Structure 1
Amino acid sequence: MKLNKIEVKKMTSKYCDHEHECVLIDEVPLDVILHSLYPNHHLEGLIPTILNWIDEPREKAFVRSRYESFKQREMLPILMCPDDCDLWCTIIIVEVVRSEGIIKWERLGIDQCTREDLINSFENIGTKVDWLEKVPSMTFQPEEYNSQISNLIR
């Protein structure tokens, strides 16, 4: 089984001139991967859900709980719009599956929650997803994955 390399690295992105954490998969920023597969979806320039950039305490707590989850299967909001840095705009969801010494991003998609869904509960995030079928699954070594992802939540 081929393992992917995940890295969280400080760099600029399409709409952020200031360096910030970016998620790279096999040395390519995740938003660039998504854009290359879906150029008409306006996904280039999305940034990771960096806890230090989310202002609203309930949103921050929700995202932290998903990052720190050790459930076998979890819907993780991984990218967000850099304009408002909140959960009310475009959110990319990754279905994280933990099993037998690996962590797998089974699939990625665009969250489709409505305003009403979010008003009811942020727990609705990841329950309605437009899955991006062209994005391949990605498999990571757990120690590397956890070490890199921790850079987004400190």
Structure 2
Amino acid sequence: MNTIRAIQDQSDYEDYWDFLNYQIDGYWLDEKLDELYPNNLYKGLIPTLVYWMEREDEKEVVWKRILPNKNETSICPILMCPDDNDFSCTLIVAEIRNCGNLIQWKQIGLDKTKEWDAEKTGSTVEWFDKLDEFNFSIHEYLTMVENFRERLSIDKIRIEEK
């Protein structure tokens, strides 16, 4: 069984805020991708579950797909470029399956969808071959998602005060 947590991370870039990030089995997902696939600029990508995503339709897609219904699978955007805060730049997706007591990230890949429509995101994916499937306990996964959800209101206040 793998572990997944939403942990405070410091931005790799001077001009960006600290944020919650995915920590899987004790490592940051963006850094692991950068290690496995160097020269693709994956280090520094941020979760799509943050408040400051630019487009409402994209936020809806992320929150709808991050936890599919029991016995269903979704392709969910999980990491994005912090420059654009939307699906237009580098976008990493996961094929997520809800098995009831277990959440599987069956595979992770680079979204190659050409259509500029949030609902079509994940229709064309270049799947990574150097990552194994991740299996998370439903309890730990729900805690991770709830931590991101709780952080939304905090970040909303921070942004509106800016």
Q: Same fold (TM over 0.5)?
A: yes
Is the aligned partner of 1:101 residue 2:97? no
Structure-to-structure mapping, 1:129-144, within 5 angstroms: 129-144=125-140
Q: Is the 8 A contact 1:51 1:64 kept in 2?
A: no
Query: Partner residue of 2:36?
Result: 37
User: Contact 1:49 / 1:152 at 8 angstroms: preserved in 2?
Assistant: no
Q: CA deviation at 1:60?
A: 1.6
Cα RMSD for the two superposed structures: 1.6
Q: Deviations over 1:87-130 (max 9, x none)?
A: 1111100001122521111100000011xx12xx3111111000
* SS of corresponding position for 1:14: coil
Q: How does 1:141-152 map to 2 (within 5 A)?
A: 141-152=137-148
Q: How many residue pairs end up in the alignment?
A: 148
1:81 Cα shift? 0.3
Q: CA deviation at 1:50?
A: 2.5
Query: What is the aligned partner in structure 2 of residue 87 from structure 1?
Result: 87
Q: CA deviation at 1:19?
A: 1.4
> Could you list the runs of 5+ residues in structure 1 that have no partner in the other structure?
none
Q: TM-score, normalised by structure 2?
A: 0.84
Runs of 4+ in 1 over 4 A off after TM superposition: none
1:73 match: 73
Contact 2:113 / 2:121 at 8 angstroms: preserved in 1? yes
CA offsets per residue over residues 31-54 of structure 1, 9 Å max, x none?
011111101221111000024111
**Equivalent of 1:11 in 1, 5, 9:** 9
Whether contact under 8 Å (2:100, 2:138) holds in the other structure is: no
Give structure 2 stretches of 5+ with no counterpart. 151-162
Kept after mapping to 1: 8 A contact 2:9/2:21: yes
TM-score after normalising by structure 1: 0.89
| Higher strand fraction (1 or 2) | 1
Offset, 1:15? 2.4
Give aligned-pair identity as a percent. 34
Query: Is the contact between residue 49 and residue 63 of structure 2 (CA under 8 Å) also seen in structure 1?
Result: no
Moved more, 102-111 or 15-24: 15-24
For 1:100 and 1:19, locate their aligned partners in 2 and report how far apart those are by CA, in whole Å. 33
Offset, 1:25: 0.3
